[in-house]
Amino acid sequence: DIASGGLKGYDLVMFTGGSGSAEAAGLGEQGRQEVREFVRNGGGYVGICAGAYLACSGFEWGLGVLNAKTVSPKWRRGQGEVKIEGAAFGDTFADRGVRYANGPIIKADGRKDLPDFEVLIAFRSELAQNDTPVGVMVNAPAMVRSIYGLGRVFTSSPHPEQTAGLEPLVEKAVRWVARAKGPTDELWKRLEAMEVDKLWLPGAI
């Protein structure tokens, strides 16, 4: 459905748990391009766990809507409760437990054509099973947000939707990425279409 234009008329798309690479394969190249264009043109993207992997630019099968890659190819860190800390959409968390199930441990990918992501929530404890690297999860981003073209992107490595008391955080993320469209958005589209950044004289102020 997505590959054939099924996102038309929607405000956002959400990819949740499972397998990021399997989600990418299910979409196919055409489907992945449709999602990119959807977000680039102002649609919202919410990715949780596998959906967060899918958003990253550091995989050849990734959507590339988030300037991020994983710190290690070893992803089977385990499942259980971990602690998080930070602030997101008006809520502040300190030493808060959240369900984790092999979500991505990310860092900046360094892509010059993508903006840096903003860390909202960080991990404060870790799981490191199955010979995964120890020490890389603590203080790593757990939930981040960014922009891609005219669209907004939110990803969460852990599962707030499966954690009692944290479910409203997902709704707030959805509302943030699916912001109301208005005249300002149309003006930005027109401005981007002019490609003024490519026409500016080198060195000119």
User: Does the structure show a pLDDT above 90 at 192?
Assistant: no
Backbone angles phi, psi at 194, to 5 degrees: -75, -20
- How far is residue 73's CA from residue 81's CA, in Å, rounded to a whole number? 22
What the block records as the tokens of 105 is: 């441990």
User: Does the structure show a pLDDT above 70 at 184?
Assistant: no
Going by the DSSP 8-state scheme, the letter that residue 56 receives in this structure is B
Residues 6+ apart with CB under 8 A from 168: 91
> HSE on the CB side for 162, CA within 13 Å?
15
Residues 6+ apart with CB under 8 A from 76: 102, 129, 130, 132
Q: What is the pLDDT of residue 183?
A: 62
Residues 6+ apart with CB under 8 A from 173: 46, 88, 89, 145, 154, 156
* Rounded percentage of the chain residues whose pLDDT exceeds 70: 95
**Helix (H, G, I), strand (E, B), or coil: what is residue 97?**
strand
Write the single-letter amino acid at 200.
Answer: W
Exposure of 21 by Cβ count < 10 A (0-12 exposed, 13-18 middle, 19+ buried)? middle
User: Does the structure show a pLDDT above 90 at 80?
Assistant: yes
Q: In this structure, are residues 158 and 140 in contact, taking their beta carbons and an 8 Å threshold?
A: no
Question: How do strand 44-48 and strand 151-156 relate by DSSP bridges?
Answer: parallel
Average pLDDT over residues 33-41: 95
